[in-house]
Amino acid sequence: MAQRRTKGGKVFMLVWCMVAACRAVPIGDLLDRASQRSDTLHSLSTILTHELDSHFPPLGRAMMPRPSMCHTSSLQTPSDKEQALQVSESDLLSLVRSLLQAWIDPLIVLSNSANNLPHPAHNSISNKIQELQEHSKSLGDGLDILSGKMGPAAQSIAFLPYRGGNDIGHDKISKLANFHFLLSCFRRDSHKIDSFLKILRCRAAKMC
């Protein structure tokens, strides 16, 4: 029993030291890491979208909902770089964290649906969706630490519930259309996340 407590204590100290080390990293360095991760996230979502497009029936495009139907559309975000430059650093980080938080459940839906997707590259798509989940989780963890350095405003998160359910459709066309729509929404939001983090990194370097 004492040995177990000793091992548990060592693990706790190791985790504590890792967290403490991360918290000691300057904001600029944390933003560099976050920007690199968000760039990977957006690039991967773009590759996924193109991969899905390779066998996407024209009828499926007609069935796809409008971008305004994305569950994150209610979040007011800057529409271009000029507007984003007018937003405070803390508010920009809050927007990024809100978007990431809003995609935790939808990414699970995409991951669970990918294996049964009526698409010849469903295995590759499934693997990439899992990568998206891993990168999103890693980025979110890093931004949690960063927000702690930037004050209460950066720590606030808008609640953007996903109400699409776990079922993306019953027939081939609807499955592809709904999957593609959800993925397109994520790609749009990952571009916002990447853009906002690059602006934050630029400001930290005093280049904006």
pLDDT digits (tens, 9 = 90+) for 154-178: 899 999 999 988 888 888 888 999 9
Question: Domain range spanning residue 162?
Answer: 27-204
Tell me whether residue 54 is in a domain. Answer: yes
* Mean pLDDT estimate for the chain: 85
**pLDDT value at residue 205:** 81
For residue 6, what pLDDT band results from cuts at 50, 70 and 90?
very low
Tell me whether residue 129 is in a domain. Answer: yes
Tell me whether residue 158 is in a domain. Answer: yes
Region 103-132 average pLDDT: 94
Region 124-135 average pLDDT: 95
Tell me whether residue 164 is in a domain. Answer: yes
Of 27-31, 48-52, 70-74, the one with minimum mean pLDDT is: 27-31
Of 24-28, 69-73, 166-170, 195-199, the one with minimum mean pLDDT is: 24-28
Tell me whether residue 22 is in a domain. Answer: no
- Residues 62-97: tens digit of each pLDDT: 778 888 899 999 999 998 889 999 999 999 999 999
CATH number at residue 34: 1.20.1250.10
Q: What percent of the chain has pLDDT over 90?
A: 58
**pLDDT value at residue 207:** 66
For residue 17, what pLDDT band results from cuts at 50, 70 and 90?
very low
Tell me whether residue 112 is in a domain. Answer: yes
Tell me whether residue 13 is in a domain. Answer: no
How many CB atoms lie under 10 A from the CB of residue 11? Answer: 10
The count of structural domains within the chain is 1
Tell me whether residue 21 is in a domain. Answer: no
**pLDDT value at residue 18:** 44
